[in-house]
Chains A and B, each alone.
Chain A
Amino acid sequence: GEDVEQSLFLSVREGDSSVINCTYTDSSSTYLYWYKQEPGAGLQLLTYIFSNMDMKQDQRLTVLLNKKDKHLSLRIADTQTGDSAIYFCAEKRAGSYQLTFGKGTKLSVIP
């Protein structure tokens, strides 16, 4: 299977919470990241979490990490139409510098 897996699509109504999930396979992952990509643009770093943490909150964003299950999630509270984009989960493994990305989850926000 893929090293980092994400569901491809998510649709939510404006004002609701969005939860984007990601699973990874390498237990040596040291950092896990969430990037946002809007159409025609590069990758914007949203947030990241160190592997010895289980939660990180930053304004409307909450990252949860379950290291035992190798599961990462990104919760966006009060989702807005401007949050419509593709969200990429990425891991950085111990001893490596490159990031391994999932295929991305396309979030559509319905007004």
Chain B
Amino acid sequence: GAGVSQSPSNKVTEKGKDVELRCDPISGHTALYWYRQSLGQGLEFLIYFQGNSAPDKSGLPSDRFSAERTGGSVSTLTIQRTQQEDSAVYLCASSLKETQYFGPGTRLLVL
């Protein structure tokens, strides 16, 4: 079946611009997660959505980062006024129970 999909697969932007990253979870999965993978920090949790509950935003590194999940399905991670340190791979995962399935990631490069 279809796995988690993310778009774009690669994004190059200039410092100070806003970017939007999209995640389509596996159909029927109620939980959705965003992680960031960078060379210096490894894999870091960013945000978690579960059904219609308020998201857990405790991992977002600054107020330039925000995310929403519309209709309990697709999610968008927005980074405003991008900085060079935002360059990383942004990974989305979804789950129904204890197992998280990851998408291929969006590679973000901020010049």
Contacts and interface: CB of A to CB of B under 8 A. Distances in A.
- Which has the most chain A C-beta neighbours within 10 Å: B31, B35, B98? B98
Task: Please classify how large the interface on chain B is, using the bins under 10, 10 to 19, 20 to 34, 35 or more.
Answer: 20 to 34
B25 interface: no
Interface string B79-111: 000000000000101000011111111000000
B103 A98 contact: no
Interface string B1-24: 000101000000000000000000
B22 to A, nearest CB: 14
A101 interface: yes
Interface string B51-90: 0000010010000000000000000000000000000000
A43 B43 CA distance: 11
A17 B103 CA distance: 29
Contacts of B59: 98
Interface in A83-111: 88, 90, 92, 97-104
Nearest to B103: A42
A101 B33 contact: no
Contacts of A97: 31, 33, 48, 50, 56
Contacts of B45: 98-100
Given A42-B91, A88-B43, A104-B42, A98 B102 contact: no
Interface residues of A, number: 21
Contacts, number: 47
A41 B31 contact: no
A99 B4 CA distance: 17
B99 A48 contact: yes
B12 to A, nearest CB: 15
Interface of A: 30-31, 33, 35, 41-45, 48, 88, 90, 92, 97-104
Interface of B: 4, 6, 31, 33, 35, 42-43, 45, 48, 50, 56, 59, 91, 93, 98-105
8 contacts: A31-B98, A43-B93, A45-B100, A45-B101, A48-B98, A97-B31, A101-B43, A104-B42
